[in-house]
Amino acid sequence: MHIFQKTISILNNFVDISDVEVGQHFYWQIGFFEVHGQVLITSCFVLVVLLSLAIFTVRDPQTIPTSKQNFAEYILEFIRDLARTQIGEEQYISWVPFIGTLFLFIFVSNWSGALVPWGVIKLPQGELAAPTNDINTTVALALLTSIAYFYAGLAKKGLSFFGKYIQPTPILLPINILEDFTKPLSLSFRLFGNILADELVVAVLVSLVPLIVPIPVMLLGLFTSGIQALIFATLAAAYIGESLEGHH
């Protein structure tokens, strides 16, 4: 009888797992446009967190830095070093705000999915999650990176920037064009896939073993979320550096 009850309990857990849904969205109709309500809410939350941290850490700067000022300066130096390494000593400084914004937005978005109990907030359809858990957000970030990539090359080289597509031989023209299409695809799907997979694993483990097992997985998720933000920002800076230096 005990084995039978245990089996029923395990089956019930799998029924709970089957209730985990992917792709359920809540939309707001604003005029002729449909606004993705989930992403808008969570993205606004992330922006508020970032603005609050910025105001708190850099307000009233001191000649002898306080701990919060040291924290802000450490983040700035980290982003500057990342941009300098990938873009180059002479041209990196103007791209620090863009690379820093990408990194901080993705980092806080990823961590919000692991630390904020979004499930408490009920929606008419679907549920709240990290902004980067939605393919629309990651594609938008990847497209912004592509725009920055082309802008950097055109601003420095003009129309001669497109000469890279026939380097080192015109035979490679289709491959070089395809490469620029695959860059935003790889950026968006890598980030989306990793964040979605992490949240699904946690959801499944919480359904099966709700107390102990999910904790180390969630801690690992925090680590991988930070790594994904770093990878995205690093690749974005590398692509911009490539457009400034030429085709390799």
Residue 119 lies in a domain: yes
Per the domain annotation, does 54 fall within a domain?
Answer: yes
Q: Establish if 225 belongs to a structural domain.
A: yes
Confidence of residue 126 (pLDDT cuts 50, 70, 90): low
Q: Is residue 162 part of a domain?
A: yes
Range of the domain at 234: 25-245
Residue 7 lies in a domain: no
User: What's the number of domains the chain is made of?
Assistant: 1
Model pLDDT for residues 55-93, shown as the tens digit of each residue: 888 877 777 778 888 888 899 999 999 999 999 888 889
> Confidence band (pLDDT; 50, 70, 90) for 180?
confident
In a domain, residue 135? The reply is yes
The answer as to whether 3 is a domain residue is: no
Find where tokens 């907030």 sit.
Answer: 121
Residue 248 has pLDDT above 50, yes or no: no
Q: What is the pLDDT of residue 96?
A: 93
Could you tell me if residue 209 is inside a domain? yes
The pLDDT of residue 4 is 42
Give the pLDDT of residue 203. 67
